[in-house]
Structure 1
């Protein structure tokens, strides 16, 4: 298969994922915009609650990401029974994980609010006011996490079936409903932060219902449901296979989230203006980093599907991924060099914060270019069973980044950027070594999900390539 075809397919899969990811960020911004009318305490409560929800996303990624890879692999192999098995495994994991998080989170909502806000007293009245508000938000949002988790599984199934546009449309639909309901529940019905949580859950529920309709109508999934005989395998085996596939991807995400939170504490050693600048710049970077993750998902889907068909084209896909991601990374670098002050101004910063943020953004370019290549190329390994090694590289890289950042924090935000770039350069070296090994694969390999990968003749799909 030609390079142009790989590139076309990657772009076709990636751009809807990009807008879906941005839509997820936008949902939090919509809530914050309306809650801001209630005062600083409400803003703080919703902000920390949103961060907790982002961290919990790593839990359900075990089901969502694992299902995506397994469905894509089964689709490439044209194995209807394996598609059904992958779908069942995702829903079994959802049924196991969701009650623990939703019910347990609701029962522990007050201690959780204390934890994320730093105690009952805090450092002032703002922290004290935020505690009951955060608890109120959690009382709605944590039970409603069941909807959020189910939507993630639906998205994973659709993406594995090759449909990345519907998850994008569902995310935009959810945002539209939230945008309409926020003022109604927050201000009109005077429900405050509870209103923001209710609007968010309802918006996601509407999107989830539409997602179920699309699942029922999806041609690939319907054909699998009609053609596959009753499978003798147990539900536990399906769930275990999905968990083994998705757990390393979840660990990778959680490691990066924890590292980002820890880095804030290191930046705080430099000064208040630097912390504010770092926070604003990080949000601005979502525009670029979401594109890197979109390419990663596209590469994962494409790689898994072709391997399922008995075609090992990891190196060809990897070259196109590096071309796309490298171009995006260099574009981000040049944009930051030229427009850093205007970016900070667009996010409402001024004075010392704006100056510190502009300096940080201009120093961040090399890191972003390396990050783009690492994140995007990681999709090839996620789709081919190499995600455990990828997760280990990420965990070591995050630990190294934090150590270097602590050591170089005396140089201010440029020192933080240097630490990030050095740690990412080593991660890129590690993944490049993994990538070079794909040049001479063994005749028959087996990935972590138990799928046999035949690589003897890339252009001749093996009829025996099925889920073990």
Structure 2
């Protein structure tokens, strides 16, 4: 298959994912602003980021397994992958939803910093009230993640985008209605979030029922012995490294805030604003990553190892986006900070940080996007180890270089990411000469056709 065709398929899969992620980030920031305005702090975003890492085990694992089974045109395997995702959802959701509700007050106390937060003693009951609805409602958030994972594995990334836009649009419309019109305060913000997501989830179930590939899989008789526990274990083994990768990056970002705080108050504020501005670029990198994961898994399922070819196109796309981000930040950093409402010392510090961030973003783009090839082929355990080591190194370097201010932080991030890129490049070179029968890093045997030989299973390629 030609390079242009790989690139076209990757772009076709990636751009809906980008708008899905961007819609979620935008709505999350606005929803957080509502909650913070009411005195509850940024509890929504902080906790949901943590819980997203939990359900990624089911969502990401399901995506890869469904995509691989779809490439092999194995209806029984598709059904097993779908069942595995839902079994994990059923196991995890009660623990989080019920346990979170019962522990809502201690959790609010922890999130607000152990002293009621910056808003004083009133913040604790407000955050607790928010959690009393948001944590039981996390069942909807988790279910939506599984639905998205199934659809993406089946090759449909547009429907998750539409569902995300629908859910987040409803949340933004319902927030002022429940908060102001019905005078429900932070409870209104939580109700709006759960209702918006519930409507989108119902629409997602309708799409699942109508999807031809998934309906055929649901009706197929199993061609191998299996059980619900085996399906769940397979999904968990596939998705856990991807979840660990996400959690490691999130923990590293939170720890980096503490290091930046050693520099000064203005720098902390600038770092927070610039990080939100960075989402516009980094979401594109993660979109390409998901596209690469889906594409790689599909072709491997069809018996075609084209990881090398896909990787080249991923690097081309991500590298171009990273370079574009670098040039944009160099030219428009002050205007970006102004657009986010910063001024004075905060704006100056943020503009300097953004201008120094370009090399790191370019390296990050290549690392994040190329990681999708390994996620789709079973190499995510090694990828998670590289990420964890890279985050630890980044924090150590940032602490050492923090005396140079935000430029020192940027240098630490770039150096750590350069080493991560070197590590993943070494993994990538190992795919250069695939054998007739190869094994992915999870031990799954993959039959490989020669690049120029026709494949009878190419209609999904």
State the TM bucket, normalised to the shorter chain.
over 0.9
Q: How many angstroms does 1:450 deviate by?
A: 5.6
Give the deviation of 1:443 after TM superposition: 3.1
Distance 1:466 1:220 in 2: 13
Q: Contact 1:452–1:467 (CA<8 Å) still a contact in 2?
A: no
* The 10-residue stretch of structure 1 (435-444 or 136-145) with the greater mean CA deviation from structure 2: 435-444
Structure-2 change in CA distance of 1:142 and 1:461 (3 Å):
farther
Contact 2:17 2:287 in 1 (8 A): yes
- Per-residue displacement from partner, 1:161-216 (whole Å, max 9, x unpaired)? 00000000000000121122111110111110110000000000000000000000
Q: Deviations over 1:137-160 (max 9, x none)?
A: 111111000000000000000000
Looking at structure 1, the residues matched to 100 and 452 of structure 2 have their Cα atoms a distance apart, in angstroms, of: 50
- 1:314-368: per-residue Cα shift (whole Å, max 9, x none)? 0000000000000000000000000000000000000000000000000000000
Contact 1:311 1:459 survives alignment (8 Å): no
TM-score with structure 2 setting the length:
0.96
Contact 1:454 1:465 (8 Å CA) reproduced:
no
Residues of 2 paired with 1:212 and 1:122: CA distance? 39
Which stretches in structure 1 are left out of the alignment for 5+ residues? 42-46
| Distance 1:430-1:204 versus aligned 2 partners, 3 A rule | same
Shift of 1:26: 1.8
Q: Supply the distance in 1 between the matched residues of 2:319 and 2:140 (Cα, whole angstroms).
A: 36
Provide TM-score, normalisation by structure 1.
0.95
In the other structure, the counterpart of 1:95 is 90
Shift in alpha-carbon separation, 1:233–1:450, aligned structure 2, 3 A: farther
Q: Distance in 2 between matches of 1:40 and 1:216?
A: 39
Q: CA RMSD in A?
A: 2.3
Counterparts of 1:269 and 1:288, CA distance in 2: 27
Paired with 2:108 and 2:378, the residues of 1 have a C-alpha distance of: 38
Single out whichever of 83-92 and 174-183 deviates more from structure 2. 174-183
Q: Tell me the distance in 1 between the aligned counterparts of 2:101 and 2:59.
A: 23
Q: Deviations over 1:18-66 (max 9, x none)?
A: 000011112212323444653586xxxxx12321111110000000000
Work out the CA distance in 1 between the residues paired with 2:224 and 2:206: 24
**Quick check: 275-284 or 100-109, which moved more?**
100-109
Equivalent in the alignment of 1:281: 274
Return closer, same or farther for 1:338/1:231 CA change in 2, 3 Å cut-off: same
Separation (CA, whole Å) in 1 of partners of 2:233 and 2:455: 25
Deviation at 1:228, TM superposition (A): 3.5
Query: Per-residue CA shift, 1:401-426, capped at 9, x if unaligned?
Result: 00000000000000000000000000
Alignment of 1:71 onto 2:79: no
Q: 1:23 to 1:255 in 2, by over 3 A?
A: same
Q: Is the 8 A contact 1:452 1:465 kept in 2?
A: no
Q: Secondary structure at the match of 2:446?
A: strand
1:63 and 1:40 mapped to 2: Cα distance? 30
Over residues 38-97 of structure 1, what are the superposed CA-to-partner deviations in whole Å (9 max), with x where a residue is unaligned?
Answer: 3586xxxxx123211111100000000000000000000000000000000000000001
SS at match of 1:230: coil
Change (3 A) 1:316 1:465: closer
Count of residue pairs brought into register by the alignment: 461
Q: Please state how far the C-alpha of 1:395 moved relative to its aligned partner.
A: 0.1
Tell me if structure 2 keeps the 8 A contact 1:71–1:161: yes
Structure 1 pair 347–40 and aligned structure 2 pair: CA distance change class (3 A): farther
Q: Match of 1:83?
A: 78
